[in-house]
Structure formats: C-alpha cells, structure tokens
Structure 1
C-alpha cells in the first residue's frame, strides 16, 4: 500500500503527526486545511513533513461502452438528446418497413381463395379434423347442461339456507370448459357466418339418440340448424317386441333434415329393456317378426339418395359416442342381406 501524505491524516483524523497534543503549528495547519484544503495543503505543511504524491500501481482498465456513453452524455447534455432522437427515428423507420404496421385497414381475408378460407374454417369448426369421423354428439352436451343446471339449483338452495343462518353465500367458481368447436368467428360478419356454418355442417357428423320409440322425438342442443346437417348418425335403441309393436313415422323424421346426404344408423339395445330384447335379437333367423317389420319399414323409408351405413363398420376406430350396447354386426349383415334387396332395387330404379 503506498504511503499517504501527512496532510491526509490531518484531514481525516485531526490528529497531530508529531504525536503532540495539538501543537500550535498543527492547529494553524488544520485551520488552513479547513479553509481551502487544495490550496493550503502544500503551503502550510510543517518543514519536517514532505507531501508525497500518491501513485497507483494498478493497471488502468478500459471503460466499457455503456460507461463511456454515460460519461459522454453527462459531459454533453446535447449528446443525450441527440441519442434519444436517433433512437426514435430508427423506430419510426422500422415501423414503416413492417407490412401493415402503419395501416389501420383489416386483413383482406375474403380476397383469399375459398379453398384457403375453408382450411381456416376447418381448423376451428371441425371437431378432430384429422380423424375419419368427426362427431358432435347431442347426448353428452345435453347431459352436461342438465348437470350444470342441477348444480346451480343446489347452490341456490344452499345459499338461501346460509343467508337465513346469517352466513355468507357460496360463490361459484368460474370454470370455462374447453369448447368442442370454436364458434366465435360466426359473430364477425354475415358472410363469415354463412361460410363457417357451411363448413361446420358439411364436414361434421351430428349424432342423435332415439330412445322413445315408436316416437321419433329427440333433443338437440341450442343452436343446431337441422336443415343444414349433411351427415347424421342415429342411434336407435331397440326395445322388446311388446313395446315395439307400433308404427314408427320415419317419413316425418327424415323431413327434418332436407340437406342430409350421409346417414349412419346404429341399432343398440335399450338399457331398460336389455334383458328382454337380447334373446329376441340374438340371430336374424330367429328374430321376432315385430323387429323384422321394424327394420323393413326403416329401410323402405330411408330416402334413396342417401348414402346409408348400418351398424358399426369394421374400419371405424373413432369414438361414436354411443349411449347403449350395439347389436351384433352379424345380425345386421344378415338383416340387410334379406331386406336390403328392396332398397337396392329402388335405388337402381331412380
């Protein structure tokens, strides 16, 4: 460590360098240092002390760019203002170079070809676009709605009891379920609504359940446009012969779907009548005549222009959202081999 000058000790510790208790010479020197340390430090030093300038042996380090810039800006205030103006000028230039950054006009989406627009719609309004059968089933949606309403009713009754007891009501947790398809774009414009709905009802299969036969009434979620559905899956829950011995008005059922092009009919066992109907539908040769008449009326009433599928196809690996156990595929094949000839003949005549 280098030796410090004696006046440094006088300024810091106010002590006497000659180990005396404030001699007169030291008192004068201290007073001079207090008045002007830089001017009088060399003039008022005692003759017995020599001021040795401090020499550092450290290697000077090169200042970084940020430190040099800060020193330069602090030394010259106009330089800092010039740097700010330069940075703003570069930002404006970059903003003008970006496409559409300086323009408030929307993207011309409808100037794109219809094929590209359909690809955009398919990624939003088609459920599972990579699968063969993208099915939107009505039964799970209706069941979820009923559960939600039941939970809401129970919460309201619980809150009434809590208010009577002087307690705070229970607040519901806001949990938004993941939507099956994204329909927010339908509210953008009229043309976008029409084109997106066309893609929605053309590429998705809509699944219904008929569990009140001989009535063909069914429930659908709010917003379904039955007149635009082109692909329909119908799960027909078969009851025993005593409850199926009645006429089914299939013509009124198909009238509700004027745009239908593809139809898949999957017969299943009704859960409530499974034990009674299973012996009657084990083999087609031993099937009850009531069930044979039921399938005959169904095949005769299906419009001839529809592409009909009966039962579950062997190459179908997707979830069909069935609510009951399906009937054997062998019985369906035997039934169509006997009763489907009339349908093939009617299609050939058309």
Structure 2
C-alpha cells in the first residue's frame, strides 16, 4: 500500500503550530489582518474581560512595559495622533500602536480615524501580525470600564447610565452586564437615532432579554444611577456635574459627558494610568490648569494591591485611558485566532 499523495505546501503557508515554510525567509514576512479579517473572529465578552484583566495583572507584577504615549496635535485642534510602544511579559510580545483621528472640528460623519497594531514575537524575534486596531479598541475600552465597575461600583449596584452612542457606547452595557449581572436598570443618554439603534442592537445580541431605557433628563438619570459611563464625543452638550450624583456613585470617563467637578470633587480618584490622564485629560483641569492627584492606579486595584472603593458612600471618579499592554494582549489573542483560521495576507515587507 502506498501513502496518499499530499498536495504541495504553498510558499509562506502557516501550519497549526504557527511555523512557516517556503522560499522566503520568515523574518521577511508580515501577516496583515484587515478589519474584515478580524470582524469574522468570534470571541466572548467574558474572554475579552479576562484577557484585559490578565494584561493589568502582568503589568502590575512588573513583567510588562507600558511607556507613556506620544501625542501630536496641531494648534487649531483639527486632528490628533498617538503612538504607543509596549511589551506584554505574559505573552512575550512587543507591539507598536498608532492612532490618528482627523476632523475633530467637524461632525462625526466627516471625521477620519485610522489605528493599527504591529505585533512581534519576543521569543522567536519574528513579526507576528499587523492589524487594524479598531475592533480591538472597541472591545478593550468597554471591557476596562466593566472591570472598573466590578472593582469600584457601590455594593449591590443595580442601575447604570451610559452617555453617548458612538463606538465606545455601543458595547458599554453588554460588558457592564457581563461584569455586574445584578444590574436591572439600563439607561442610555444619546441624541443620534442610528447610534441609539446600534446600542439597542448590541444589547439584544448579547442579552436578548434585556431592554434599554432611553432618558431625556440627564440630571435626574445620573442622580438615579449607581454607575455612570461617559463615552460621548467631543461635541456633546452633556456634562454631568458632581452635585447631580448621589453618594456612592461611580463615574467612569471614557470620552466626554462628565464635567470637571466630578473629578475635582470626587472622594476617590482611580486612573488606568495617572501619567496618561495628565496627558489626555487636560480638558478636565481646573481654572489653574491642574488635575488632582490619583489615589490609585487601576492595575494595582485589579491585582489586589490597592483598594478600588473604601466606603459604600464615597463618590468615585475613574479615568479610563487605554494602556497599550491591553491592546497587545487582545491583539495577540486575535492574531492567534486569525492564524488558526488561515485569515490575513502575508506580505514580504522587508525584502
């Protein structure tokens, strides 16, 4: 009996273990993953939260590196660009993330936004992938808000208010429910019909038995919420003041929607990174241009080295700015899933 002939392995093919074959050297190849490639990958909200949480724990343990982001912005403020370099010690991956948004002085439909993540394997020294980072960011940020809520919300939290219906607002409630399943009142403040419809659709997809309460009176709604997540864009008129919030409320700032008083009059301030808050949170500064000190950074809270909340009644302000180590962790997860499914296109970039 003779063995069944096997088809030849195409140049650059990737095997199940991630190894490559072909005439082109491995260090000359880069796998490019488009937005469409990543859109087809299935990952649960709980998986995303666990991946992000692990990245925080690894960073706090001193096994990862997350330098402060670099920022460039023209004097008229029409655009902003960021560059972030980091290393994930849990996954032995190094990455560079870039983010560029143009048209900040225009409406949402006229803006342009591009973000990419380039990953390298720090064991083999080979490039792992270059990918569109939009989906990673759209998952990572609400996952961080969910973790903040899990660690800092008042005991027995039952109500949540999300301000804004853009990219970050659309998954905020499903992630919050994943981390705090006891929430029974889900409020939304938004003005864009398409965005409101998208928020409802995302909630229905993940929690088909839950409904959203659309609110018009922001002052009343914020005063009835245990958790307020502000994800609105820069043009929003929404600005929740500190004295609107009842004792014990957790306010999480992702984009816009919380007034500076919620920070300056908070009983406790938590930030994913104090250094990054001092760079990207300048719009929350007081009349003298200063920001209050941070009481605890969130990686220490996740690791159990610092308290998220000390009393049931303290109002907590939490600043959610992206740390590149969380992008690396989630990007690495997506890259491995994509390789296993044969997604993406290999290019010989360095030849």
TM-score range, shorter chain: under 0.3
Q: Specify the structure having the higher radius of gyration (Cα).
A: 1
Structure 1 or 2: more helix by fraction: 1
Structure 1 or 2: more strand by fraction: 2
